[in-house]
Amino acid sequence: MHNNNLSRQLSRALAAACAIALSFGLAACGSGKGDDSNNSADSNGIQMAGVKATGELGKKPKITFHTPMSVVNNSYAVLQKGNGAPIKKDNHVCVQAVALNAKDDGEMMSTWEKNTPDCSMVMNEQSINKTYYNVLKDQRINSTVAFGVNDKNSAKTSYIMALTMVSQSKSLTRAEGDKVTDVPANLPKVTLNSKGAPSIDFNGYKPGNDLVVQPLIKGKGKQVDEKDTIDAHYTGWVMDKDGKPSKFDSSWDKGKAAQFSLQQVVTGWKQGLAGQTVGSQVLLVIPPSLGYGNQAQAKIPANSTLYFVVDILYDYGEMQTEQ
């Protein structure tokens, strides 16, 4: 049986304590305060017995186990050893998933039929649960690994989540590509420090009412669609009372790139970044009508023109969200 509500939540970020389960719209693994030692494994996980997978590597596996099955939280089983490249630290890894009810092995959700792998997992301990990281880091592409989830949600649903790692890609840390050489001389001037963080000189620029989109570095990656979710480094400025740049926000200062759905940012971002490519660095000059208009924000006065320099680091595609 296919659960539409679960499908709508496939791509929740993998940053919570039980990250993988949350990503696929299933409740957190034993996250309730009432957990006891019988339902929770330690950070190293325990091996789960009795779960098997058959089928061609890299294809939807046939998962079998005796029902009803008692699931220990964070338990795992490596069901199929992959034949692809070893998983590399800090790479984005795309996984296809199927979740089976531990009570009756009924299928709760699957990404395989519509070929909608989740690519939001970053292979490091900062991004995913330590137990999962310790198991997944030693696998290869086309491996299938099962995790047991003993839920404390209202439905008290325990399930087996089988993840097949189908691809991986490098996560950029800054824009990479060809420097654009024909940037108009009258635009603001952008300079980068050794790490790639930008600073800006307005250069006497007088903004108008139109959106300005100027690539500074042209990346060679995937083209971004206006419905996509991306990872980006960015810095934003407004003009202060003396006509100088006043920085109001920067992912560089936070030491970590940010994830954005282009459906959930100001219109100038959506229009300006759609059509750009991963690896690009883009200067955006956003008029108030495509920014925050007459609504003041923290550090942003009403009716401000916004100046952004954005590095597009990764494109997840159109990630489904809960309706």
Mean predicted confidence (pLDDT) in 25-36: 42
Q: Name beta bridge partners: 217.
A: 179, 281
Residue 253: Cβ within 10 Å count = 10
Domains located in the chain, CATH noted = 4-169 (3.10.50.40), 178-317 (3.10.50.40)
> What is the enclosing helix (H) or strand (E) of 19?
helix 19-23
From the CA atom positions of the chain, what is the Rg in Å? 23
pLDDT band at 73 (very low <50, low <70, confident <90, very high): confident
Q: Which residues contact 27 (CB under 8 A, 6 or more apart)?
A: 21, 149, 151, 152, 153, 157
Which residue type does 203 have? Answer: N
Residue 115: Cβ within 10 Å count = 8
pLDDT band at 44 (very low <50, low <70, confident <90, very high): low
Mean predicted confidence (pLDDT) in 95-116: 92
Percent of the chain past pLDDT 90, that is, above it, reads: 69
Tell me the pairing of strands 76-80 and 306-317.
Answer: unpaired
Residue 157 has pLDDT above 70, yes or no: yes
Residue 154: per-residue pLDDT: 58
Residues 98 and 60 sit within 8 Å (Cβ to Cβ) = yes
pLDDT band at 166 (very low <50, low <70, confident <90, very high): very high
What is the model's pTM? 0.74
Percent of the chain past pLDDT 70, that is, above it, reads: 83
Highest mean pLDDT among 7-16, 55-64, 129-138: 55-64
Residue 24 has pLDDT above 50, yes or no: yes
Tens-place pLDDT, residues 292-309: 999 999 999 999 999 999
Mean predicted confidence (pLDDT) in 143-147: 95
C-alpha to C-alpha distance for 61 and 3, rounded to whole angstroms: 19
Mean predicted confidence (pLDDT) in 160-164: 93
